[in-house]
Each structure stands twice: as structure tokens, then as C-alpha cells.
Amino acid sequence: DRFNLQDFLTQIVDMFRLQADAKSIEFRFLPSGNLPIHVYGDEKRLRQVLINLLSNAIKWTHFGSVTLKVGYQNQVAEFSVIDTGIGIAERDLERIFIPFERVETAESSSIPGTGLGLAITKLLTEVMGGDIGVQSSLGNGSTFRVRLLLSAAQTPDRPAPAEKQIYGYEGATQTI
């Protein structure tokens, strides 16, 4: 379905700016390229994907910043969620997308979670025909990147005042 990408992003940014403020983390929103106003895509699934990634970023970051970057090229949108949090060791990177898998460290063991967020995020991304990747460095932060086709939709001008037609008696039509 068609939705307003700019309104969609504004809502998400507003929501996570508050969560970042509450933890005294900086929240940055970096749109780049020529983002279309309206796109065709699965707004609900995309919202869930971004909420999961941004929630994780805030959850596993205690200092610094969480950044949402959005790029757009050739009808493909790229969303990057970048944090300066605890990071993930190379050996753990492949299992974090598996249901119920969590990384056990002294730092993370006190933070609750079921380990389902990323498994669901990967599934939703793939259902939308997109892909997800991660780069991370233990102690330095993580970047999760989602790419998917989001075709630009025409943004209609304000509806032109249509000629009003009054259907009169016996099929006679009058235009006013």
C-alpha cells in the first residue's frame, strides 16, 4: 500500500528521541538522497522492523548516540541503525538472528529480553523482499542495515476542485 514515508519517519524519530533523552543518549536522524514523500510498501512491517532495531540500539547503548540513517536510490531504501553501544563479538554475530539467542556478557545479563526481536525483524524484512545485515565491534557499537525496495509513489496535488455535477430531472445534467 501507499504511505507517506516522511510522516512515517517523523513519528518514529519522535518516539525514539524521547527514549534516547530518557537515557541521556544523543539521537540523530540523517536522511540523505532524494527521499520520496509517498512510497509503496508494507508500512506496518517496516515500522516493526525499525522499532525493533532502534529499541535494541537504545537498550544496548549506555553512552554516546543512536543514529537512524535513511538513504534512497533506484527505488531502494536503506535504513541504518547505528549505535555506540556495547557491540557484539564476531563469533556471536551469526546467532543473534536465531530465535531465543542472546549474547551473554556481564553487561547484558541484567538487561531483560526474550531474544526474539531480531529473529522477527529478519523474518519481516525477508517477507518484504528485503535483506538485513550487521556490522559490529565489541565495545564500540553496532550498525544494523536493512535494504528493501520501496517504490516511489506519485504524491497527488491537492485535489483540484472538480466540476460539480447536478443530475436534474429526466437525466438532464447541469454543470455548476
Taking CB under 6 A as the criterion, the residue among 102, 122, 146, 150 binding ligand ATP is: 102
Binding to ligand ATP by residue 68, rule CB under 6 A?
Answer: no
- What residue type is assigned to position 131 of the chain? D
Interface pattern 126-165 for ligand ATP (x via CB under 6 A): ----------------x-----------------------
Pick from 117, 122, 125, 130: which binds Mg ion (CB under 5 A)? 117
> Does 116 contact ligand ATP by CB under 6 A?
yes
Residue 40 vs 97, nearer CB to ligand ATP: 97
| Residue 36 is a binding residue for ligand ATP (CB under 6 A) | no
Count of residues that interact with Mg ion, criterion CB under 5 A: 2
Q: 160 by DSSP, 3-state: which?
A: coil
Q: Does 121 bind Mg ion (CB under 5 A)?
A: no
130-to-51, 79, 146, 176 alpha-carbon distances in Å: 16, 11, 7, 50
Beta-carbon contacts of 94 under 8 Å, excluding residues fewer than 6 positions away, are none
Q: What is the DSSP letter of 26?
A: E
Residue 25 in contact with ligand ATP, rule: CB under 6 A: no
Listing DSSP states for 64-132 in one string gives: SEEEEEEEEETTEEEEEEEE-SS---GGGTTTTTSTT-----TTTTTS---S-HHHHHHHHHHHTT-EE
Written as nine digits, the cell of 169 is 430531472
Interface of this chain with Mg ion, residues 51 to 90, rule: CB under 5 A: 56
Strands 2-4 and 38-40, bridge-based pairing: antiparallel
- Residues in contact with Mg ion by CB under 5 A are 56, 117
- Residues in contact with ligand ATP by CB under 6 A are 56-57, 60, 83, 85-88, 96, 102-103, 108, 113-119, 142
